Amino acid sequence: MRESEQSRPSREWTFAGRRPKTMAVTALAVVLCLGAAACQATASAAPRAKPSRSPAAAKPAAQLSITPANGARVVQTDSGVSVHVANGKLTDVTVKASGGAVTGTMNSSGTAWHTNWALHNSTRYTVTASATGTGGRSVTRTSTFRTVAARGYFSASTFLGHGAVYGVGMPIMITFSQPIVHRRAIERSIEIRSSKPVVGTWMWDGNQTLDFRPRTYWPQHTHVSFLAHFKGVEAAPGVYGLANLSQSFNIGNSLIVVASTRTHYMHVWYKNKPLGRWAISTGMPGDATANGTYLTIDKHNPTRMVGNGYNVLVPLAVRFTWSGNYIHWAAWSVAQQGITNVSHGCVNISPAHAAIYYPLARPGDPVTIIGSPTAGKWDDGWTEWFLTWKQALRRSALHLAVEVGPHGSTFVNPATLPASLPANPLQGPAPWNYLPGMHLN
């Protein structure tokens, strides 16, 4: 572009004496030309219009997806409901059915939501999900579907009484009406709460009994509850849970017995403090009291005992095996207690000691027999504590530990837990406690 005249350096015009007319005209013409040039220069120096910028790219809207899709039928109950969003965050998810709202959990980033438990059979569900995109625009989607019908149902029960008080060794025990094939699904459908934190595991005893056992004994004075969301869980092909199962109970004062068939004495701890070292007499040769950590089952005052050559009513008797072993009042063997074994498998104690022990005993109190030449038999009583921690984990279909506390339970990798074992009989039994000749650590 040429340099405009306005930008050139100014020039001075000087005339001596009178100016001729021609000069005046010429000057005028020059002035006019300069004026014209100035106008032209002004026009050429005007700033050019800047090209308009293209509008900023619009931020993508939130993209919602719901599974199962709208109109789906024969939906599997175990699959649940999943909601995902791209380019945004979920603001609300509701799942409704005739039975009421369904609970679910959102991930930490707010981009995914999933139901917590199995859906119910032959049920129509409606899912409504809302999300806000990165540009601030809200989106709502709806899906309505129906779940599969069941060909058969299973039920479950527990003998634990509502609000009942048990000993520190008591497991949660659930019995099913038929064999369970999909055991992992059953374990995942149960949530546990405890007023004090514990670590334990689910363990199967056959295919119709599921137990939860803590790694060590429950802390005394713990409130425990569980809710098994079995309704809609497929336990075998085409067979689903008919109803949920729930129960709550309490762990009472700690009462622990370790009885030696070799020394003929038993140690008793109450509320985690020594209560006494009492003389006993256990099973005679050929009828030995078997080793192992058992749990008290029930108690009677009196109970009838029938065997080879005897049929008697025995006062103050606390049972710990199905085969008929008790810790009981035995006035007839006081002279042998602390010296030799003369019973038919029971633990004989004096009337005075029986009067102390019997009122304190509750189902679930640990009773460990040591020093016997006879191994304990699995399932002769509540024998969950025969198993080491690793053995108990192997009986879980998930092979996972369960951390339990006031807010619920979580499955965890057992390898992440401290490798601690019970340090003394107040925390739990020694491993392999049912083997012959087992003694205290």
Q: Nearest-CA neighbor of 257 among 239, 244, 270?
A: 270
Amino acid at position 184, single letter: R
Q: Which of 120, 229, 267, 328 is catalytic?
A: 328
Instruction: Provide the phi-psi class of 87: left if phi over 0, else alpha when psi is between -120 and 50, else beta.
Output: left
Q: Which of 120, 267, 346, 353 is catalytic?
A: 346
Q: In what order do the strands lie in the sheet with 138-146?
A: 100-101, 88-97, 124-133, 138-146
Spatial contact of 296 and 273, defined as CB atoms under 8 Å apart: no
In a 13 Å sphere around the CA of 75, the CA atoms on its Cβ side amount to 26
Neighbours of 133 (CB within 10 A): 19
39 is catalytic: no
Token pair, residue 257, equals 């017995």
By C-alpha distance, which of 234, 180, 235, 237 is closest to 207? Answer: 180
Measured CA to CA, the distance from residue 81 to residue 78 in angstroms comes to 9
Separation between Cα atoms, residue 178 and residue 237, nearest integer Å = 12
Contact 185, 234 (CB under 8 A): yes
User: How far apart, in whole angstroms, are the C-alpha atoms of residue 121 and residue 147?
Assistant: 5
Contacts of 339 (CB under 8 A, 6+ apart): 264, 279, 281
The answer to whether residue 346 is catalytic is: yes
Task: Specify the 3-state DSSP secondary structure of 29.
Answer: helix
The label of the residue with tokens 């807010």 reads 407
CA nearest to 167, candidates 71, 249, 237:
249
CA distance 228 to 105: 18
C-alpha–C-alpha distance, residues 298 and 167, integer Å? 11
227, β-bridge pairs: 191, 246
For the annotated catalytic residues, the residue numbers are 328, 346
